[in-house]
């Protein structure tokens, strides 16, 4: 079980959104690099970083900040937001990012997923964001008619090894995560599932680990002090 502290960047700041709503933003730090350093000091070995401006605009707007995070910490960083082409995957990898997350582009341009897996293999993951079971795109502003679990199965068929699955309705609400959906997702043999959205308690993380979920993304629970990162890592890192 890997613990991925989340750093969402918007306007150069480390922020959190409630249920993906850009109008419900809380700024936690004016310096995302400092946040990353603090996570490392607490024992983090990996980070989940999202360029929220990029997710909305379709460009790599905060790539320089993400590079600074990589350079300052030396941690395994998975990053996404605005990745719409193979060239942008290369740009992130050149910046030192260990794994690049495809989001909306994976939904709207499936051939990009096929090509990305062909050229970059395990250095590419797909972030599947779902509201009421349906995949959402463009910074969660548009909900499609695609079923989230079925889409994950399709990703697995073309060789995607890792999916970060977010239940938008739970994200940033500190109300607990959707355990049932992860129980279904872990039935897809050979796919690594990383859970994201609303994870609030250590016991939840242990339940996810028992289902063979391979990682969890922790955001608001860390920023609001509901979960202590150092304690969470000690109790959950080796649980399976």
Residues catalogued as catalytic: 8, 129
Helices (H), 124-200: 148-157, 179-185
Whole-angstrom distance, CA of residue 104 vs CA of residue 81:
9
Q: For the chain, where are the alpha helices, taking DSSP H only?
A: 32-41, 52-57, 63-73, 86-94, 104-108, 110-120, 148-157, 179-185, 202-210, 220-223, 229-236
The total number of residues shown for the chain amounts to: 240
Name the DSSP letter for residue 186: T
Burial class of 52 by CB neighbour count within 10 A (0 to 12, 13 to 18, 19+): buried
């Amino acid at each position: 079980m890997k613990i991925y502290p989340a750093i969402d960047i918007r306007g150069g700041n480390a922020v959190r959104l409630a249920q993906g709503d850009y109008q419900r933003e809380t700024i936690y730090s004016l310096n995302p690099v400092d946040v990353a350093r603090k996570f490392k000091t607490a024992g983090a070995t990996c980070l989940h970083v999202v360029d929220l401006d990029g997710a909305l605009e379709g460009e790599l707007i905060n790539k320089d900040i993400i590079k600074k995070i990589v350079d300052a910490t030396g941690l395994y960083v998975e990053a996404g937001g605005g990745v719409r082409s193979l060239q942008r995957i290369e740009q992130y990898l050149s910046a030192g990012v260990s794994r690049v997350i495809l989001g909306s582009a994976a939904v709207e341009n499936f051939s990009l997923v096929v090509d990305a897996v062909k050229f970059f293999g395990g250095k590419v993951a797909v972030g599947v964001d779902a509201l009421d079971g349906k995949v959402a795109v463009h910074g969660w502003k548009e909900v499609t008619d695609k079923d989230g679990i079925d889409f994950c199965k399709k990703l697995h068929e073309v060789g995607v090894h890792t999916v970060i699955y977010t239940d938008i309705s739970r994200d940033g609400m500190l109300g607990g995560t959707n355990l049932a959906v992860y129980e279904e997702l872990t039935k897809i043999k050979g796919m690594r599932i990383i859970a994201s959205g609303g994870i609030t308690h250590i016991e939840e993380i242990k339940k996810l680990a028992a289902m063979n979920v391979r990682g969890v993304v922790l955001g608001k629970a860390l920023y609001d002090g509901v979960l202590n990162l150092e304690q969470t890592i000690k109790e959950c890192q080796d649980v399976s």
